[in-house]
A = this chain, B = another copy of it.
C-alpha cells in the first residue's frame, strides 16, 4: 500500500515563537521602549534604500541617546564574506545587540552575524549544518520588505558566491527579540521586489501545505487563509503602491506565511526552495523568480503524491470542481501560473535567459550533499533534473 493511502495522524509537535511584533503606521517611533538599555547596538542594512525612503532617518531619530554603530552594504542573497566583515567590527567595538533594518536578506545576514560572532570555529560551518548554533547575540528587526517571514522565525539563508553555494540554517537563538512592521515603509518598494515578495509568501505557504493529508484541517484552512488574502490583495498593491490597507495585508500575510504556525503537525516539502536556491547560486536569479519557475513543475511532477491536496487547493482557492482528478489538478497549476504572470512574475527559465543545459550541474549538488528532497524523500537527483527540464 502506498504511504499516502495509510491513515496518518497529525504529527506531534512543539511550537514556540516569542517574537514581539509591533505592527502599524509610525511604529518605528516605539523603538526606544523596545530596545534594551545600556547596550552597544549595531544597525545593519542593505544597499542604502532606507536612506532614500526615510526609514533611516526615522531609526536614527528614535535612537537618540543610544550608543550605536552602523554596518551597511548587506546585499540581496547576503554574502558570507560581507557578514564576516560585520563580525570583525562587532568584536572590535564590543557591540552586544543587532538591529537589522531592511528586508529578509538584511535580517538573514544579521542572524548569521549574530551566530557567527559567538562561534569559535569556521563560521561557514553554521549554514552548512556542520554545527548546531548554541548561542547568538540578541537581535531585532525593522522589516521593510514583506517576503521571507524572517521577522518572525529563526531561519536564515546565506550565500557564498566564490564557491556558488546558498545554504539555509535555523536556530532558536536567532529569532528576533522584536520586529517592527510599518506598512508605510513598503510604499516605495520597486515593483520587482514587491512581486518577488508576494511570490515568496505564496510559495512558503505551499511548501507547508501542498503535501499529503495528515488530518490537519485547521492548519490547511489557515494556509488557505493566507493564499486567499495574497491573491486578493496583490493586485491592489500593484495598482496603488501607496494603498495602506493592501500593503498591511500583504505584510501580515508574509509574516504568517513563515512564522511556522501553519506547519504545526503537518508534513512539509521545501523542494521548490532547495532547487530554487541552486538556481540563485548558479545564475543570480532572484529568489522569488526561482520559486515561480520551479513550483509549478514540482506540482506537476509530483501530482500523484500531492494529488489530494492539489484537488483541495483547486476547489477551495480557485473554485475548480469540474473534470477528472488529473484535469482539476492541471487547471489548478495553470491558475497558479496565471496568478504569478498576472502580477508580472515570469514563470519559465527561458524568460530569464537560462537554458536547461546550463543547469546540468544542479542535480549533482544534491547528490554530493546526500540530500533527497520532498515530503516523501523521493525527489532524487534524477528527479531534480526532470523538474528543471519541465521548467524550460
Chain A residues proximal to chain B, CB less than 8 Å: 9-27, 178, 215-219, 221-222, 224-226, 228-229, 232-233, 244-245, 248-249, 252-253, 256, 261, 264-265
Chain B neighbourhood of A16, CB < 8 A = 18-21, 178
Q: A9-B244, A15-B23, A215-B245 are in contact. List 20 more A-B contacts (CB 8 A).
A: A9-B245, A10-B24, A10-B249, A10-B252, A12-B26, A12-B27, A14-B22, A15-B20, A15-B21, A16-B19, A16-B20, A215-B249, A216-B249, A217-B228, A217-B229, A218-B225, A218-B249, A221-B221, A221-B228, A252-B264
Nearest residue, chain B, Cβ from A220 = B225
In contact, A14 and B9 (Cβ under 8 angstroms): no
In contact, A265 and B23 (Cβ under 8 angstroms): yes
Q: Identify which of B22, B178, B221 contacts A229 (C-beta below 8 A).
A: B221
Q: Identify which of B10, B15, B23, B264 contacts A13 (C-beta below 8 A).
A: B23
Do A265 and B245 form a contact, CB below 8 Å, given A12-B23, A13-B23, A21-B16?
Answer: no
In contact, B252 and A233 (Cβ under 8 angstroms): no
Chain B neighbourhood of A253, CB < 8 A = 218
Q: What separation, in Å, do the CA atoms of A232 and B244 have in the docked complex?
A: 36
In contact, B226 and A224 (Cβ under 8 angstroms): no
Chain B neighbourhood of A19, CB < 8 A = 16
In contact, A217 and B244 (Cβ under 8 angstroms): no
Output the least CB separation between A232 and chain B (Å): 6
Nearest residue, chain B, Cβ from A7 = B245
Do A18 and B18 form a contact, CB below 8 Å, given A217-B233, A226-B218?
Answer: yes
In contact, A21 and B14 (Cβ under 8 angstroms): yes
Nearest residue, chain B, Cβ from A14 = B22
